[in-house]
Every structure is written in structure tokens, then in C-alpha cells.
Structure 1
Amino acid sequence: MAMIKVDTSDTKFSVGVEPRPKNDMEGRQRTDRMTGTPLFVTQLIKLDDDGAEIIAVTTPGAPDVGQGAEVRPVKLIAIPWQQGQRSGVAFKADAIEHVPATTQGIASAAPAPSKGSGS
């Protein structure tokens, strides 16, 4: 199984659908093979220079993120798969974190300081 590390440096992500348990065909929640941690799927909206794409990202444990939150998948990988005539790409990440709020853009919205002293 080939795993491809995804470069997310020039990409913005937001939560489309909050995390949900990843279930098998019988409705049982899947777990991480190594740790036994329950797996969750979070729908993310990926936005970059090529446009927008909706991807489902599997993580061990439920990320504490809500719909619309700007987030960052940690160590995102893509896993191409094929079953018979069907094929696709699955996405996994170690975690999904909130993007810290920055002051960029706030300063440009503030009024420019006055140059005169008023006297």
C-alpha cells in the first residue's frame, strides 16, 4: 500500500462536517490497528490555488473541531486504493488542529495613525 505525504503548506482547510465515527460494514466503529484507538472521519474543505475540494480525513480519536472552523491536518497522507473496478484515494492524518488566530489582516483594517500632532 503506497502512502503519499501531502504538502499542506499553501493550503487552507475548514471543517465541512464535524467528526463522525468510522464504522465497518456491520456498523461497528473501526479502531487503529496499532493502538486500538477509535477512528473518526472529518469532512474537510481543502482550498488552494487550484480551487476547492472536499476530502474525508480519518484520524485516531475525535478532533475537537466544529463545522466552519479553520483547521490544519497533522501529517496528512493520501493512500490510493483499488477494489475491483472501483478506485479512489483515502486520506489519513495524525490529528486535526485548529489554526491559531493571527493578527495578519487585522493591522491593515485598523485606521492609519495620524501624522499631525493637532497643535
Structure 2
Amino acid sequence: MQSIPVDTTRLGVLRCAIAPEAKLVNTETKEVKRDRGGNPVWTVAVTVRQDGRRISVIEIAVSGQPKGIEEGQTVKVTGLTAFAWAIGDRHGISFRADAVTPVPAGPVHTKGGDA
């Protein structure tokens, strides 16, 4: 598999589309996938604005459960890497990150001062 580092600063605002979920190896037994260190792997679906108004959703795998992330929330993705894969006649791109963390909401400003 070829790994490609991704510059997240060029992706614009990243938002959580689907809250973190444990990545399952087997849906029947509910066995959770583990990384090489034995940590559970989680996935977070994130929206990415590629050009103008076109938005894509990518699923990002991360070791350990991301904390404090809710759907619709702006997130920061650290150490994002894309992997090109092929199995038989199927192929695609998968994504892995060192961390997906929530971006704290900024202060709310009201127009015209206090009401």
C-alpha cells in the first residue's frame, strides 16, 4: 500500500459528519479492530470541501476513542495519511490519522452590542 501524507491546511473547514464509531473486524461478533499496539481502532466520518461548493465525506481511522466529538462539530485532524489500496478488481483510498480532536467554539458576537 502506498501512503500519501495529506496537508490538512489545504482542506478548509473539517466537520464531523458521523460521530466516532468503533471499527469492527466482524459485524456478527462485534469484534473491534486493533492496531499494531493493541489499541482499538475508531472511525470518524468527516466532511471535506474540495472546491467551491462540492463537499465529500471521508472516513478517517484513528487509534483509541476520540473524545468530545459530536456530529456537525468542527474538528482538527492531525497526521492525516491517505493509503491507496487494491484487492482483486476493487480499489480505493483509505485514510488514517494520528488524532481527530474537537475545535472549541469561538465566542459568540452579537451585532450592535448588548440587547
TM-score class, shorter-chain normalisation, is 0.7 to 0.9
How far apart are the structure 2 equivalents of 1:14 and 1:98? Answer: 9
How far apart are the structure 2 equivalents of 1:7 and 1:101? Answer: 23
Q: What is aligned with 2:90? A: 86
How far apart are the structure 2 equivalents of 1:79 and 1:95? Answer: 16
How far apart are the structure 1 equivalents of 2:101 and 2:50? Answer: 18
Find 1:36's aligned residue among 32, 38, 46. 38
Q: What is aligned with 2:65? A: 62
Work out the percentage of aligned pairs sharing the same amino acid: 28
Q: Which runs of 5+ in 1 are unaligned?
A: 113-119
- TM-score by length of structure 1 reads 0.80
- TM-score by length of structure 2 reads 0.82
Q: CA RMSD in A?
A: 2.0
Q: Counterpart of 2:3 in structure 1: which amino acid?
A: M
Please say which structure displays the higher CA radius of gyration: 1
Number of residue-to-residue matches in the alignment: 108
Q: What is aligned with 1:73? A: 77
**Alpha-carbon offset, residue 23 of structure 1:** 1.1
Q: What is aligned with 1:115? A: none
**Alpha-carbon offset, residue 102 of structure 1:** 4.0
How far apart are the structure 1 equivalents of 2:35 and 2:58? Answer: 20
How far apart are the structure 1 equivalents of 2:100 and 2:58? Answer: 13
Q: Counterpart of 2:77 in structure 1: which amino acid?
A: P
